């Protein structure tokens, strides 16, 4: 299916500009398209040029925040307008997180949320009481993470901020642009491995495409024979 899609497209078009976009349009996995392009390129049916792009992907922590919200916003929402004690805040914050998250991880997220909320000047931490310094906040971190998930453009400043918090990682995407090769055909012919008697009798040998032989390949190792008993007596 992937091979037919590539060769069929090139029959009517000059070039596949981006194998990633092509795979998405055709509803075929990019890995399958890449394997077909490599195979066709090896037989010179197409000429393929490498494409490399840096993409940002969410870390496990970043994926968690994109799904449930950033720790600082979760912490802010756990603080009621009238304020709350530190102990109550920690319990309320933990209850806002999914049950499948371990208590140890919840404690770590609570610590991150507290640090970031104080840094953003959203809350004030007293000796025993916690209160809001603002009445409304936007979850910009979550919005940025969702934008990256969708493949949307994000500013360099925001990328650096998310990298420092280890919420995203760089990933090099590899693909191809593809044009017709010198041996292009709308359908690949199966290369013959041997010249047969039938090829000669029918005259097919003139049009049959033969698979190239690897003359550098080594043959099967040979095993030496046994010594004649008289030679054994002479040698030993």
31 plus 89 within the same structural domain: no
Please tell me whether residues 65 and 45 are part of one structural domain.
Answer: no
The whole-chain average pLDDT of the chain stands at 89
**Domain containing 6 — which CATH number?**
1.10.10.10
Dist. CA 90–CA 108, nearest whole Å: 11
Number of domains in the chain: 2
Residue 15 lies in a domain: yes
Whether 44 and 75 share a structural domain = no
Residues 50 and 65 in one domain: no
C-alpha to C-alpha distance for 154 and 220, rounded to whole angstroms:
58
Same domain, yes or no, for 48 and 64? no
- Predicted pLDDT at 228: 76
Residues 165 and 176 in one domain: no
For residues 11 and 24, state if they share a domain.
Answer: yes
Range of the domain at 68: 60-169
The Cα 205–Cα 50 span in angstroms is 36
Q: Kindly state the percentage of the chain with pLDDT values over 70.
A: 96
Statement to judge: residues 65 and 117 lie in one domain: yes
**Residue 193: inside a domain:** no
In tens, the pLDDT along 24-70 reads: 999 999 999 999 999 999 888 899 999 998 889 999 999 999 999 99
Q: Identify whether 139 is part of a domain.
A: yes
What residues contact 115, with CB distance under 8 A and at least 6 apart? none
180 pLDDT tier (thresholds 50, 70, 90): very high
**73 shares its domain with 157:** yes
* pTM of the entire predicted model: 0.63
Strand order in the sheet with 46-58: 15-16, 168-180, 46-58
Residues 85 and 147 in one domain: yes
Q: Higher-confidence residue: 198 or 214?
A: 198
Place of tokens 């992907």: 57
């Amino acid at each position: 299916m992937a091979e037919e899609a590539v060769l069929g497209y090139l029959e009517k078009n000059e070039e596949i500009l981006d194998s990633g976009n092509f795979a998405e349009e055709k509803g075929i996995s990019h890995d399958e398209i890449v394997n077909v392009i490599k195979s066709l390129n090896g037989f010179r049916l197409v000429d393929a040029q490498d494409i490399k792009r840096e993409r940002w992907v969410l870390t496990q922590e970043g994926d968690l925040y994109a799904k449930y919200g950033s720790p600082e916003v979760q912490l802010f929402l756990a603080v009621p307008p009238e304020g709350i004690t530190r102990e109550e805040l920690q319990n309320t914050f933990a209850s806002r997180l999914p049950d499948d998250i371990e208590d140890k991880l919840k404690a770590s997220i609570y610590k991150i949320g507290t640090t970031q909320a104080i840094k953003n000047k959203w809350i004030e931490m007293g000796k025993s009481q916690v209160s809001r310094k603002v009445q409304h906040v936007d979850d910009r971190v979550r919005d940025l993470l969702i934008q990256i998930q969708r493949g949307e453009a994000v500013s360099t400043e925001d990328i650096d901020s998310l990298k420092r918090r280890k919420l995203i990682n760089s990933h090099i995407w590899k693909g191809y642009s593809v044009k017709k090769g010198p041996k292009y055909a709308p359908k690949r012919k199966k290369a013959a491995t041997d010249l047969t008697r039938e090829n000669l009798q029918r005259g097919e040998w003139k049009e049959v495409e033969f698979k190239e032989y690897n003359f550098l390949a080594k043959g099967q190792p040979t095993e030496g024979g046994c010594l004649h008993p008289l030679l054994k007596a002479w040698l030993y």
